[in-house]
Structure 1
Amino acid sequence: MEKLNMREITSEIEKVDMQNTTNETVKIVGISGSLRQGSFSTALLKILAEKALPAIEIRVVTLEDIPLYNADLDGEPEIPAVAAFKRIIAESDGVLIATPEYNHGIPGVLKNALDWASRPVFESCFKYKPASIISSSLAFTGGVRAQYQLRETLISMHAHLVMGPEVVVGGIHTSLADAAYTDEKGLEFMLKSLGRLRDEIIGRSLHAV
């Protein structure tokens, strides 16, 4: 009979625990980094919300109501749109950000919203929150530079970035048609990433018990 060391035994127990919680629903907020009415990022989030497993609820959030960050306005009473944005993140189990790439970086509207969400310093609604990223671009590079810039911002906010293959969607305009995503393998890849986000949320909740 094969012997297992303590690390392997612990791993096996965790696998069983995960299997016993497969029906647990997690609530994920999907933040779109684009304001455009026909935004590819928003469309991707809506498609993932539709295609995700029943145990994953995705609430898609856009940022048109978030004002420009001004430290003079960062106090009590909070700006209603900012307070609502923070509350949605705080009440979620995890965050999925979909962003385009503008000039080798993330859009100003997304950085601005994260600047608001980062307050108070070191105690923000993103602290220890499991987070995943999808970047996209019309170019074949898929917004990879924006993704790395966004990672740096989230790390500074003490968000918990979920590890795994990076989801970068190149030539996004060729795969979206009539609110559907035509690249089946690409969609499967994104759904697997979403599954890793859920697994991370479930795993962290088990360890917290």
Structure 2
Amino acid sequence: MDTESFSVLGIAGSLRQESYNRALLRAARDIAPDTLSISIFDLDDVPLYNADVEAEGLPEAVSDLGAALRESDGLLIATPEYNHGVPAVTKNAIDWLSRPPREAPIGAVPTAIMGASPGSTGTARAQSQLRPSLDAVNALCMPQPQMLMARAHEKFDDGALIDKATRDYLTRFLNAFSDWIARVQ
């Protein structure tokens, strides 16, 4: 029996090159099951959302981001948590992907959220704040399981995910995401 394979666009809501969330996204790409092929889009060049800029035409990085999502079967968001909330980079990507409203690339796209933090709650607050924004733009957000990596500084070595329990959980999370895409597509 042939198993369906899905292409997934991954974005990290941090601009820091050595960010735990970029590292988590790379780990997800590297250990993804055969049913998922994850490509990572760098948000460094995506400007802050501005309706005046949008009215003049989408910036190239925004057009590229939208095109990458349109070519994908799902969206994987790795978000940090800043001051108990969603960082601007994460929210900004969602805002651009919701434009234009009737043709938004993010609408009806199976989506999963994960996050890594050196703190003890592992981005729980940021993820719970991000879900209503994803609902508002009609993204199909996977309800469970959640991938909340706490104490990230103990689980990576030189950008590589070395904690076996976390790698195993990430594998289960990615398998669940593959099942979610198959179910809601």
TM-score range, shorter chain: over 0.9
CA 1:157 to 1:21, structure 2 compared with 1: closer, same or farther past 3 Å?
farther
What is residue 170 of structure 1 aligned with on the other side? 150
Q: Which 5+ residue runs of structure 2 have no aligned equivalent? A: none
* Contact 1:33 1:62 survives alignment (8 Å): no
Question: Percentage identity across aligned positions?
Answer: 39
From 68, 75, 83, the equivalent of 1:95 is 75
From 125, 130, 135, the equivalent of 1:155 is 135
Residues in 2 aligned to 1:153 and 1:65: alpha-carbon distance in whole angstroms: 22
Q: In terms of Rg, which structure is larger?
A: 1
Tell me the TM-score normalised to structure 2 length.
0.94
Cα offset for 1:137? 1.2
Deviates more, 1:146-155 or 1:196-205: 196-205
Tell me the TM-score normalised to structure 1 length.
0.84
Instruction: Give, as a single letter, the amino acid of the residue that structure 1 aligns with 2:26.
Output: K
From 119, 130, 139, the equivalent of 2:110 is 130
Residues in 1 aligned to 2:32 and 2:20: alpha-carbon distance in whole angstroms: 18
Instruction: Give, as a single letter, the amino acid of the residue that structure 1 aligns with 2:25.
Output: L
Q: Which 5+ residue runs of structure 1 have no aligned equivalent? A: 1-19
What is residue 82 of structure 1 aligned with on the other side? 62
Matches within 5 A, 1:106-145: 106-145=86-125
* Contact 2:20 2:159 survives alignment (8 Å): no
CA 1:196 to 1:122, structure 2 compared with 1: closer, same or farther past 3 Å?
farther
Give the structure, 1 or 2, with the largest relative contact order (CA under 8 Å, sep 6 or more).
Answer: 2
Instruction: Give, as a single letter, the amino acid of the residue that structure 1 aligns with 2:164.
Output: E
Instruction: Give, as a single letter, the amino acid of the residue that structure 1 aligns with 2:127.
Output: Q
What is residue 42 of structure 1 aligned with on the other side? 22
Number of aligned residue pairs = 185
